[in-house]
Amino acid sequence: METASPVTTAGVPPARFTQYQIFVIAVLAFLQFTIVLDFMILSPLGAILLQELGISTKRFGLVVSIYAFAAGGSGLMAAGFADKFDRKKLLLFFYCGFILGTFLCGIANSFHFLLVARLVTGLFGGVVGSVAFAIITDLFPFQTRGRVMGAVQTAFAASQVLGLPIGLALATRFTWHAPFLMIVGLGVAAGLVIFTQMRPIDAHLKVQSDRSPFAHLLHTATRPRYLIGFSATMLLATGGFMLMPFGSAFSVNNLGVPLTKLPLVYVVTGVVSIIAGPLMGRLSDAVGKYLTFSAATIVCMGVVIYFTHLGIIPLWHMIVVNAVLFVCVTGRMISASALASGVPAMADRGAYMAINASVQQISGGIASTIAGVIVVQAPSGKLERYDLLGWVVVAAMAVTLLLMFNVHRIVREKV
């Protein structure tokens, strides 16, 4: 089996990854691509769903948040078992469930059917990311995790460059169900590759205690140093879950961007983010993960305030602002994920990552619900109080900046 890359006596990681590690990075990045695309596709489809299903912004906010709540609940339930099994088998189990849920989205014909489908998708899809991050922590030393996270989390950008434009094209040419069925096809192919090519990942089984799954969950959830990490995670997803669900509707109805031009916005933004992701990962390893997170957060706060107060603007203006915003969001995600990976001990990594993902999903679900309450759609289609939403997001980012410093302090003392 593959083990973590060795670290030199000087504390500097090797310059290159092994071929198998590169394969693992590519597979995990593709999984993230499908998971992220499944979530992000709801944002550009928002303008279509509001009309075709005849739902309000509150109901649409519920469609988005139900995934997060389901993911959070399943993560907590899975946390006690997360370190008791081969991570490859765990990954395959939850990814198959995610594919099933996405298929249900692809055949949904009503608000309630779609709501149930998103519930199923969240129950399984929310755990996939935590298992993937546990695998990264097992196979790669802390000094290189910025680079790994930078590669894996470019899935967010790739989903824009490749997935969202194709998904939107399928939705406008056929029906809004088509993008979900496309994800199902991609997911089946990825699952087969994992099943046939990935090696067992079970080194953590050698250091497991005799605790029952519930006792293991309780131990991980209540350990003081872990609680600090969970508290920082609570607000980390707020920006994405609050702004993104209504991003397309705001761009079309408030900023005057034609719906037919949205794919261009996502493509340009995605290309910029794909370039920035690996650079942010390398930067976080070189100058420090918390320093990178802080800089990205401060810039992001300014861009959010600017973006949410805009009126009608030219298309090029929208593209520039959106690109800068997503570069900052990418920098925050990569550096924060790499930093948080240094908190748990090997025996607790699966449980910690599962709980951490659950906390993030649940807080994100609450944030999405709050956003649906704050933002209202006028009869003209224009979204109102989006500027207020921007201030709420900025306040959450400011608190997160302080909380992540405590995580940085813990990791520095440990590493």
Query: Which pLDDT does position 189 carry in this prediction?
Result: 93
Query: Which pLDDT does position 3 carry in this prediction?
Result: 41
Across the chain, mean pLDDT equals 81
The Cα–Cα gap between 168 and 189 comes to 22
Query: Which pLDDT does position 7 carry in this prediction?
Result: 38
Give the ranges where 80-144 is alpha helix by DSSP (H): 87-107, 111-139
| Tens digits of residue pLDDT in 206-237 | 766 656 777 777 878 888 888 888 888 877 87
Q: Which fold has domain 19-204+211-410?
A: Growth Hormone; Chain: A; (1.20.1250)
pLDDT at 47 over 70: no
Percent of the chain whose predicted confidence (pLDDT) is above 90 = 13
pLDDT at 2 over 50: no
Q: ∠ at Cα 133 (128, 136), nearest 5°? A: 130
DSSP for residue 385: S
Burial of 96 (C-beta count, 10 Å sphere; 0-12/13-18/19+): middle
Give me the mean pLDDT over the 172-196 stretch.
88
The Cα–Cα gap between 130 and 355 comes to 8
pLDDT at 89 over 80: yes
pLDDT at 326 over 70: yes
| Tens digits of residue pLDDT in 356-372 | 877 877 777 778 778 88
Tell the residue number behind the tokens 């309630």, with chain if given: 112
Query: Which pLDDT does position 51 carry in this prediction?
Result: 67
Q: Which of 246, 253, 262 is nearest to 380 (CA)?
A: 253
Query: Which pLDDT does position 21 carry in this prediction?
Result: 86
* Range of lowest pLDDT (190-194, 237-241, 340-344): 237-241
pLDDT at 5 over 60: no
The Cα–Cα gap between 101 and 160 comes to 21
Burial of 192 (C-beta count, 10 Å sphere; 0-12/13-18/19+): exposed
- Find the helix or strand (DSSP H, E) in which 283 lies: helix 262-287
Q: Is residue 331 within 8 Å of 38, Cβ to Cβ?
A: no
Dihedral sign, Cα of residue 96, residue 102, residue 107, residue 111: positive
Q: Is residue 257 within 8 Å of 315, Cβ to Cβ?
A: yes
pLDDT at 409 over 50: yes
Q: Which amino acid is at 171?
A: A
| Tens digits of residue pLDDT in 268-321 | 887 888 888 888 888 888 888 899 999 999 999 999 999 989 889 998 998 899
The Cα–Cα gap between 359 and 380 comes to 37
- Enumerate the domain spans of the chain: 19-204+211-410
